[in-house]
Amino acid sequence: MRCHAPPLSGYRSRMRVHHAPPSQRRSAAFIASFSAALLHPLLKLKCLLPPSPLLSSSTSEVEVFIASFSTALLHPLLKLKVSQAATISYMAERIVGQGSFGIVFQAKCLETGETVAIKKVLQDKRYKNRELQTMRLLDHPNVVSLKHCFFSTTDKDELYLNLVLEYVPETVYRVVKHYSKANQRMPLIYVKLYTYQICRALAYIHGCVGVCHRDIKPQNLLVNPHTHQVKLCDFGSAKVLVKGEPNISYICSRYYRAPELIFGATEYTTAIDMWSVGCVLAELLLGQPLFPGDSGVDQLVEIIKVLGTPTREEIKCMNPNYTEFKFPQIKAHPWHKIFHKRMPPEAVDLVSRLLQYSPNLRSTALDACVHPFFDELRDHNTRLPNGRPMPPLFNFKPQELKGVTLELLCKLVPEHARKQCPSLNF
Protein backbone atom coordinates (compact mmCIF):
# COMPACT_ATOMS: atom_id res chain seq x y z
CA MET A 1 0.00 0.00 0.00
CA ARG A 2 1.45 3.35 -1.01
CA CYS A 3 0.49 6.58 0.70
CA HIS A 4 1.20 9.81 -1.11
CA ALA A 5 0.29 13.33 -0.17
CA PRO A 6 -1.04 15.64 -2.85
CA PRO A 7 1.67 18.17 -3.69
CA LEU A 8 -0.10 21.08 -1.96
CA SER A 9 -1.97 19.35 0.84
CA GLY A 10 1.11 18.73 2.91
CA TYR A 11 0.77 16.57 5.95
CA ARG A 12 -2.21 14.50 4.85
CA SER A 13 -1.96 10.82 4.04
CA ARG A 14 -4.48 8.03 3.94
CA MET A 15 -4.23 5.26 6.52
CA ARG A 16 -5.91 1.92 6.36
CA VAL A 17 -7.58 0.30 9.36
CA HIS A 18 -7.23 -3.49 9.49
CA HIS A 19 -9.78 -5.31 11.63
CA ALA A 20 -8.54 -7.42 14.49
CA PRO A 21 -9.90 -10.24 16.62
CA PRO A 22 -11.59 -9.03 19.85
CA SER A 23 -8.54 -9.81 21.97
CA GLN A 24 -6.53 -7.24 20.05
CA ARG A 25 -9.09 -4.48 19.60
CA ARG A 26 -7.69 -2.26 22.30
CA SER A 27 -4.26 -2.05 20.83
CA ALA A 28 -2.71 -0.37 17.86
CA ALA A 29 0.36 -0.69 15.71
CA PHE A 30 2.14 2.52 14.97
CA ILE A 31 4.88 2.20 12.38
CA ALA A 32 6.30 5.61 11.85
CA SER A 33 9.20 6.84 9.82
CA PHE A 34 9.48 10.60 9.74
CA SER A 35 10.81 12.96 7.10
CA ALA A 36 11.68 16.62 7.38
CA ALA A 37 8.58 17.57 5.49
CA LEU A 38 6.13 15.95 7.92
CA LEU A 39 6.71 17.54 11.27
CA HIS A 40 5.26 20.86 12.34
CA PRO A 41 4.86 23.42 10.90
CA LEU A 42 4.47 22.13 7.31
CA LEU A 43 4.01 19.89 4.89
CA LYS A 44 4.86 17.11 2.45
CA LEU A 45 4.42 13.53 3.48
CA LYS A 46 5.77 10.69 1.40
CA CYS A 47 5.19 7.26 2.78
CA LEU A 48 5.43 3.63 1.78
CA LEU A 49 4.08 0.78 3.86
CA PRO A 50 6.21 -2.32 3.35
CA PRO A 51 4.65 -5.78 3.61
CA SER A 52 4.54 -6.87 7.25
CA PRO A 53 3.10 -9.84 9.12
CA LEU A 54 1.75 -7.30 11.64
CA LEU A 55 -0.67 -6.03 9.04
CA SER A 56 -2.39 -9.17 7.87
CA SER A 57 -6.16 -8.96 7.77
CA SER A 58 -6.46 -11.29 10.76
CA THR A 59 -4.29 -9.38 13.17
CA SER A 60 -4.59 -5.76 14.06
CA GLU A 61 -7.59 -3.48 14.41
CA VAL A 62 -5.95 -0.23 14.62
CA GLU A 63 -4.31 2.40 12.69
CA VAL A 64 -0.93 2.19 11.14
CA PHE A 65 0.78 5.51 10.89
CA ILE A 66 3.59 6.05 8.45
CA ALA A 67 5.60 9.15 8.18
CA SER A 68 9.15 10.12 7.21
CA PHE A 69 11.25 12.47 9.34
CA SER A 70 14.56 14.22 9.80
CA THR A 71 16.30 15.12 13.02
CA ALA A 72 16.07 18.79 12.13
CA LEU A 73 12.37 18.92 12.93
CA LEU A 74 12.41 16.82 16.05
CA HIS A 75 11.68 18.54 19.32
CA PRO A 76 14.59 21.00 19.53
CA LEU A 77 15.52 19.91 23.05
CA LEU A 78 15.74 16.24 22.17
CA LYS A 79 18.69 16.02 19.75
CA LEU A 80 17.92 12.44 18.82
CA LYS A 81 20.86 10.86 17.02
CA VAL A 82 19.45 9.04 14.03
CA SER A 83 20.39 9.00 10.39
CA GLN A 84 18.45 10.97 7.82
CA ALA A 85 16.67 7.82 6.66
CA ALA A 86 16.14 6.29 10.11
CA THR A 87 12.88 4.56 10.95
CA ILE A 88 11.24 4.56 14.36
CA SER A 89 8.47 2.00 14.89
CA TYR A 90 5.94 1.87 17.70
CA MET A 91 3.65 -0.95 18.78
CA ALA A 92 0.75 0.35 20.84
CA GLU A 93 0.08 -1.93 23.78
CA ARG A 94 -3.04 -0.49 25.40
CA ILE A 95 -5.26 2.54 25.74
CA VAL A 96 -4.37 4.53 28.86
CA GLY A 97 -6.63 7.54 28.42
CA GLN A 98 -9.40 8.90 26.26
CA GLY A 99 -11.75 11.84 26.22
CA SER A 100 -13.13 14.61 24.06
CA PHE A 101 -9.53 15.48 23.05
CA GLY A 102 -8.83 12.06 21.53
CA ILE A 103 -7.02 9.00 22.82
CA VAL A 104 -3.72 8.12 24.52
CA PHE A 105 -1.90 4.85 23.89
CA GLN A 106 0.89 3.24 25.83
CA ALA A 107 3.32 2.13 23.14
CA LYS A 108 6.76 0.59 22.81
CA CYS A 109 9.52 1.65 20.46
CA LEU A 110 10.46 -1.51 18.57
CA GLU A 111 14.01 -0.30 17.93
CA THR A 112 14.94 0.63 21.51
CA GLY A 113 12.33 -1.06 23.71
CA GLU A 114 11.48 2.30 25.27
CA THR A 115 7.91 2.73 26.51
CA VAL A 116 6.22 5.95 25.42
CA ALA A 117 2.76 7.50 25.41
CA ILE A 118 1.22 8.53 22.09
CA LYS A 119 -1.54 11.09 22.29
CA LYS A 120 -3.69 11.16 19.17
CA VAL A 121 -5.70 14.37 18.80
CA LEU A 122 -8.21 15.25 16.09
CA GLN A 123 -7.32 18.55 14.47
CA ASP A 124 -10.67 20.34 14.27
CA LYS A 125 -10.47 23.30 11.89
CA ARG A 126 -13.06 25.16 13.99
CA TYR A 127 -10.75 25.33 17.00
CA LYS A 128 -7.19 26.51 17.38
CA ASN A 129 -4.94 23.78 18.75
CA ARG A 130 -1.90 25.21 20.51
CA GLU A 131 -0.73 22.02 22.20
CA LEU A 132 2.19 21.24 19.90
CA GLN A 133 3.56 24.77 19.79
CA THR A 134 3.24 24.98 23.59
CA MET A 135 4.96 21.67 24.26
CA ARG A 136 7.86 22.59 22.02
CA LEU A 137 8.63 25.43 24.46
CA LEU A 138 8.75 23.26 27.57
CA ASP A 139 11.74 21.64 29.25
CA HIS A 140 11.31 20.98 32.96
CA PRO A 141 11.63 17.98 35.32
CA ASN A 142 8.00 18.38 36.42
CA VAL A 143 6.51 18.71 32.92
CA VAL A 144 5.99 15.68 30.68
CA SER A 145 8.46 15.82 27.80
CA LEU A 146 7.65 15.77 24.09
CA LYS A 147 9.88 13.38 22.15
CA HIS A 148 8.53 14.02 18.67
CA CYS A 149 5.27 14.15 16.73
CA PHE A 150 3.65 13.29 13.42
CA PHE A 151 0.39 13.92 11.59
CA SER A 152 -1.89 11.26 10.14
CA THR A 153 -5.26 11.04 8.42
CA THR A 154 -8.05 8.48 8.29
CA ASP A 155 -10.10 7.24 5.35
CA LYS A 156 -12.60 9.98 6.23
CA ASP A 157 -9.85 12.56 5.65
CA GLU A 158 -9.77 13.50 9.34
CA LEU A 159 -6.43 14.98 10.35
CA TYR A 160 -4.81 13.80 13.60
CA LEU A 161 -1.82 15.14 15.48
CA ASN A 162 0.14 12.38 17.25
CA LEU A 163 2.33 13.53 20.13
CA VAL A 164 4.98 11.04 21.24
CA LEU A 165 5.54 11.70 24.95
CA GLU A 166 7.51 10.22 27.79
CA TYR A 167 5.47 7.54 29.57
CA VAL A 168 4.64 7.95 33.26
CA PRO A 169 2.56 5.04 34.61
CA GLU A 170 0.30 6.62 37.24
CA THR A 171 -1.82 9.70 37.87
CA VAL A 172 -2.48 11.57 41.09
CA TYR A 173 -6.18 10.89 40.43
CA ARG A 174 -5.68 7.13 40.63
CA VAL A 175 -3.47 7.46 43.71
CA VAL A 176 -6.22 9.45 45.48
CA LYS A 177 -8.78 6.80 44.45
CA HIS A 178 -6.53 4.05 45.80
CA TYR A 179 -6.41 5.59 49.27
CA SER A 180 -10.10 6.51 49.18
CA LYS A 181 -11.16 2.93 48.35
CA ALA A 182 -8.99 1.65 51.18
CA ASN A 183 -10.66 4.20 53.49
CA GLN A 184 -7.26 5.73 54.21
CA ARG A 185 -5.78 9.21 54.13
CA MET A 186 -2.94 9.83 51.73
CA PRO A 187 0.31 10.07 53.75
CA LEU A 188 1.06 13.72 54.36
CA ILE A 189 4.55 13.42 52.88
CA TYR A 190 2.98 12.52 49.52
CA VAL A 191 0.53 15.42 49.76
CA LYS A 192 3.47 17.76 50.29
CA LEU A 193 5.58 16.15 47.60
CA TYR A 194 2.89 16.16 44.91
CA THR A 195 1.65 19.69 45.65
CA TYR A 196 5.16 21.15 45.75
CA GLN A 197 6.04 19.66 42.37
CA ILE A 198 2.79 20.95 40.85
CA CYS A 199 3.63 24.44 42.12
CA ARG A 200 7.16 24.19 40.80
CA ALA A 201 5.89 23.15 37.35
CA LEU A 202 3.46 26.07 37.33
CA ALA A 203 6.12 28.53 38.49
CA TYR A 204 8.07 27.45 35.41
CA ILE A 205 5.26 27.60 32.84
CA HIS A 206 3.80 30.83 34.27
CA GLY A 207 7.05 32.69 34.82
CA CYS A 208 9.48 31.32 32.22
CA VAL A 209 7.19 30.45 29.33
CA GLY A 210 4.22 32.73 30.03
CA VAL A 211 1.70 29.93 29.61
CA CYS A 212 -1.46 29.30 31.63
CA HIS A 213 -2.34 25.58 31.76
CA ARG A 214 -6.11 26.11 32.26
CA ASP A 215 -6.90 22.50 33.17
CA ILE A 216 -5.11 21.60 36.39
CA LYS A 217 -6.73 18.51 37.92
CA PRO A 218 -5.55 15.18 39.42
CA GLN A 219 -6.05 13.39 36.08
CA ASN A 220 -3.48 15.69 34.45
CA LEU A 221 -0.83 15.11 37.10
CA LEU A 222 1.30 12.07 36.27
CA VAL A 223 3.29 10.37 39.01
CA ASN A 224 6.01 7.74 39.02
CA PRO A 225 4.93 5.27 41.75
CA HIS A 226 8.55 4.38 42.60
CA THR A 227 10.24 7.79 42.71
CA HIS A 228 7.08 9.89 43.28
CA GLN A 229 8.23 12.45 40.76
CA VAL A 230 5.22 14.36 39.40
CA LYS A 231 4.84 15.56 35.81
CA LEU A 232 2.24 18.01 34.56
CA CYS A 233 0.61 16.85 31.31
CA ASP A 234 -2.17 17.67 28.83
CA PHE A 235 -1.50 21.11 27.42
CA GLY A 236 -4.51 20.94 25.09
CA SER A 237 -6.17 23.89 26.88
CA ALA A 238 -2.96 25.82 27.59
CA LYS A 239 -2.55 29.34 26.27
CA VAL A 240 -0.29 32.36 26.56
CA LEU A 241 -2.50 34.99 28.21
CA VAL A 242 -2.01 38.45 26.75
CA LYS A 243 -3.29 41.41 28.75
CA GLY A 244 -6.18 43.08 26.95
CA GLU A 245 -6.95 40.07 24.77
CA PRO A 246 -10.13 38.16 25.70
CA ASN A 247 -10.11 34.44 26.47
CA ILE A 248 -12.91 31.92 26.72
CA SER A 249 -14.32 31.53 30.22
CA TYR A 250 -15.74 28.03 29.71
CA ILE A 251 -12.42 26.34 30.43
CA CYS A 252 -11.01 24.04 33.12
CA SER A 253 -12.75 20.98 34.60
CA ARG A 254 -15.67 21.96 36.81
CA TYR A 255 -14.47 20.89 40.29
CA TYR A 256 -11.25 22.86 39.78
CA ARG A 257 -12.69 25.89 37.96
CA ALA A 258 -11.84 29.28 39.46
CA PRO A 259 -14.83 31.45 40.45
CA GLU A 260 -13.92 34.22 37.99
CA LEU A 261 -14.40 31.68 35.19
CA ILE A 262 -17.82 30.75 36.58
CA PHE A 263 -18.63 34.48 36.58
CA GLY A 264 -17.76 34.58 32.89
CA ALA A 265 -14.52 36.57 33.10
CA THR A 266 -12.59 36.73 29.84
CA GLU A 267 -9.56 38.71 31.03
CA TYR A 268 -8.30 36.35 33.71
CA THR A 269 -4.72 35.53 34.71
CA THR A 270 -2.58 32.52 35.60
CA ALA A 271 -4.20 32.79 39.05
CA ILE A 272 -6.91 30.45 37.71
CA ASP A 273 -4.30 27.68 37.81
CA MET A 274 -3.49 28.48 41.43
CA TRP A 275 -7.15 28.17 42.40
CA SER A 276 -7.07 24.72 40.79
CA VAL A 277 -3.96 23.84 42.82
CA GLY A 278 -5.85 24.81 45.98
CA CYS A 279 -8.68 22.48 44.98
CA VAL A 280 -6.23 19.64 44.26
CA LEU A 281 -4.43 20.17 47.59
CA ALA A 282 -7.73 20.12 49.49
CA GLU A 283 -8.71 16.92 47.66
CA LEU A 284 -5.43 15.22 48.59
CA LEU A 285 -6.00 16.17 52.23
CA LEU A 286 -9.68 15.19 52.31
CA GLY A 287 -9.67 12.21 49.95
CA GLN A 288 -12.51 13.74 47.93
CA PRO A 289 -13.19 16.94 45.94
CA LEU A 290 -13.81 20.04 48.05
CA PHE A 291 -16.26 21.62 45.59
CA PRO A 292 -18.21 18.79 43.85
CA GLY A 293 -20.65 20.90 41.85
CA ASP A 294 -23.20 19.24 39.56
CA SER A 295 -23.23 22.16 37.11
CA GLY A 296 -21.57 25.51 36.58
CA VAL A 297 -24.09 27.29 38.80
CA ASP A 298 -24.00 24.55 41.44
CA GLN A 299 -20.21 24.82 41.43
CA LEU A 300 -20.51 28.43 42.57
CA VAL A 301 -22.98 27.32 45.26
CA GLU A 302 -20.46 24.75 46.55
CA ILE A 303 -17.75 27.42 46.69
CA ILE A 304 -20.00 29.90 48.52
CA LYS A 305 -20.94 27.21 51.06
CA VAL A 306 -17.27 27.08 52.07
CA LEU A 307 -15.91 30.58 51.43
CA GLY A 308 -19.14 32.46 52.09
CA THR A 309 -20.72 35.04 49.82
CA PRO A 310 -18.09 37.11 48.00
CA THR A 311 -17.96 40.78 48.93
CA ARG A 312 -18.74 43.47 46.39
CA GLU A 313 -15.00 44.15 46.05
CA GLU A 314 -14.24 40.45 45.50
CA ILE A 315 -16.95 40.24 42.84
CA LYS A 316 -15.45 43.28 41.15
CA CYS A 317 -12.06 41.52 41.05
CA MET A 318 -13.64 38.48 39.42
CA ASN A 319 -16.00 40.19 36.98
CA PRO A 320 -17.08 43.84 37.42
CA ASN A 321 -20.27 43.19 35.44
CA TYR A 322 -21.75 41.36 38.43
CA THR A 323 -21.19 43.96 41.16
CA GLU A 324 -24.88 44.95 41.25
CA PHE A 325 -26.11 41.36 41.41
CA LYS A 326 -27.67 40.44 44.77
CA PHE A 327 -26.35 37.18 46.23
CA PRO A 328 -27.83 35.49 49.30
CA GLN A 329 -25.62 36.25 52.28
CA ILE A 330 -23.88 33.08 53.45
CA LYS A 331 -21.22 33.05 56.15
CA ALA A 332 -17.88 31.38 55.47
CA HIS A 333 -17.44 27.88 56.89
CA PRO A 334 -14.34 27.81 59.13
CA TRP A 335 -11.46 25.88 57.57
CA HIS A 336 -10.77 24.00 60.81
CA LYS A 337 -14.26 22.49 60.56
CA ILE A 338 -13.68 21.35 56.98
CA PHE A 339 -10.44 19.54 57.79
CA HIS A 340 -9.99 17.13 60.70
CA LYS A 341 -8.48 18.37 63.95
CA ARG A 342 -5.11 16.70 63.40
CA MET A 343 -4.55 18.51 60.10
CA PRO A 344 -1.34 20.57 60.27
CA PRO A 345 -2.19 24.28 60.40
CA GLU A 346 0.36 24.93 57.62
CA ALA A 347 -1.69 22.74 55.27
CA VAL A 348 -4.90 24.62 56.05
CA ASP A 349 -3.09 27.95 55.72
CA LEU A 350 -1.81 27.11 52.23
CA VAL A 351 -5.28 26.00 51.10
CA SER A 352 -6.73 29.28 52.38
CA ARG A 353 -4.07 31.31 50.53
CA LEU A 354 -4.82 29.55 47.25
CA LEU A 355 -8.62 29.56 47.51
CA GLN A 356 -9.17 33.32 47.56
CA TYR A 357 -12.00 34.91 45.59
CA SER A 358 -9.75 37.78 44.50
CA PRO A 359 -7.29 36.40 41.91
CA ASN A 360 -4.64 38.97 42.85
CA LEU A 361 -4.66 37.77 46.48
CA ARG A 362 -3.93 34.12 45.67
CA SER A 363 -0.41 32.86 46.25
CA THR A 364 1.68 32.67 43.11
CA ALA A 365 3.25 29.33 42.25
CA LEU A 366 6.71 30.45 43.38
CA ASP A 367 5.37 31.91 46.64
CA ALA A 368 3.57 28.64 47.29
CA CYS A 369 6.84 26.71 46.85
CA VAL A 370 8.39 28.49 49.84
CA HIS A 371 5.37 28.02 52.10
CA PRO A 372 6.16 26.41 55.49
CA PHE A 373 3.94 23.45 54.56
CA PHE A 374 6.84 22.24 52.39
CA ASP A 375 9.60 22.74 54.98
CA GLU A 376 9.85 18.97 55.52
CA LEU A 377 10.83 18.56 51.86
CA ARG A 378 13.74 20.94 52.40
CA ASP A 379 15.10 18.84 55.26
CA HIS A 380 18.19 16.94 54.10
CA ASN A 381 17.18 13.89 56.19
CA THR A 382 13.71 13.48 54.68
CA ARG A 383 13.17 10.20 52.81
CA LEU A 384 10.25 8.58 51.05
CA PRO A 385 8.23 6.10 53.14
CA ASN A 386 9.86 3.27 51.15
CA GLY A 387 13.30 4.49 52.26
CA ARG A 388 14.30 5.84 48.87
CA PRO A 389 15.67 9.36 48.45
CA MET A 390 13.34 12.16 47.45
CA PRO A 391 12.97 12.96 43.74
CA PRO A 392 14.88 16.04 42.51
CA LEU A 393 13.14 19.09 43.98
CA PHE A 394 15.74 21.86 43.90
CA ASN A 395 17.58 21.41 40.58
CA PHE A 396 16.54 24.86 39.40
CA LYS A 397 17.81 26.34 36.16
CA PRO A 398 18.71 30.04 36.05
CA GLN A 399 15.62 30.97 33.99
CA GLU A 400 13.36 29.50 36.70
CA LEU A 401 14.70 31.95 39.25
CA LYS A 402 15.18 35.00 37.08
CA GLY A 403 14.21 38.09 39.05
CA VAL A 404 13.84 36.19 42.33
CA THR A 405 15.10 38.11 45.37
CA LEU A 406 17.99 36.72 47.38
CA GLU A 407 15.71 36.31 50.39
CA LEU A 408 13.25 34.19 48.40
CA LEU A 409 16.10 32.29 46.77
CA CYS A 410 17.51 31.26 50.14
CA LYS A 411 14.08 29.98 51.22
CA LEU A 412 13.54 28.15 47.94
CA VAL A 413 16.86 26.31 47.70
CA PRO A 414 18.02 24.77 51.00
CA GLU A 415 21.72 24.96 51.79
CA HIS A 416 22.35 21.26 51.21
CA ALA A 417 20.91 21.54 47.68
CA ARG A 418 22.75 24.65 46.54
CA LYS A 419 25.54 22.64 44.99
CA GLN A 420 22.90 21.39 42.49
CA CYS A 421 22.58 24.98 41.27
CA PRO A 422 26.18 26.13 40.67
CA SER A 423 25.03 28.87 38.30
CA LEU A 424 23.01 30.59 41.02
CA ASN A 425 24.65 33.22 43.18
CA PHE A 426 23.99 32.94 46.91
Task: CATH number of the domain at 31, please.
Answer: 3.30.200.20
Residues 245 and 331 in one domain: yes
Q: For residue 397, is it within any domain?
A: no
Q: Which amino acid is at 135?
A: M
pLDDT at 154: 86
Q: For residue 391, is it within any domain?
A: no
Last residue of a domain, one of 348, 373, 398: 373
Tell me, what CATH number does 254's domain have? 1.10.510.10
Residues 213 and 161 in one domain: no
Residues 87 and 175 in one domain: no
Residues 212 and 357 in one domain: yes
Q: Is the peptide bond before 225 cis (omega within 30 degrees of 0)?
A: no
Residues 188 and 316 in one domain: yes
pLDDT at 185: 93
CB 58 within 8 A of CB 32: no
Q: For residue 147, is it within any domain?
A: yes
Residues 22 and 160 in one domain: yes
Residues 31 and 134 in one domain: yes
Give the domain extent around 130. Answer: 18-44+52-166
Residues 156 and 194 in one domain: no
CB contact burial 148-181 (16+ within 10 A = b; e otherwise):
bbbbbbeeeeebbbbbbbbbbebbbbebbeeeee
Nearest to 230 by CA among 241, 219, 238, 240: 219
Residues 177 and 284 in one domain: yes
Q: For residue 390, is it within any domain?
A: no
d(CA 109, CA 70): 17
- Supply the residues annotated as catalytic: 215
Per-residue pLDDT reduced to its tens digit, 205-257: 999 999 999 999 999 999 999 999 999 999 999 999 999 999 999 999 999 99
Residues 153 and 178 in one domain: no
Residues 161 and 242 in one domain: no
Residues 160 and 263 in one domain: no
Q: For residue 403, is it within any domain?
A: no
- Which stretches of the chain score pLDDT less than 50? 1-85
Last residue of a domain, one of 121, 149, 166: 166
Q: Is 120 annotated in some ligand binding site?
A: yes
pLDDT at 423: 63
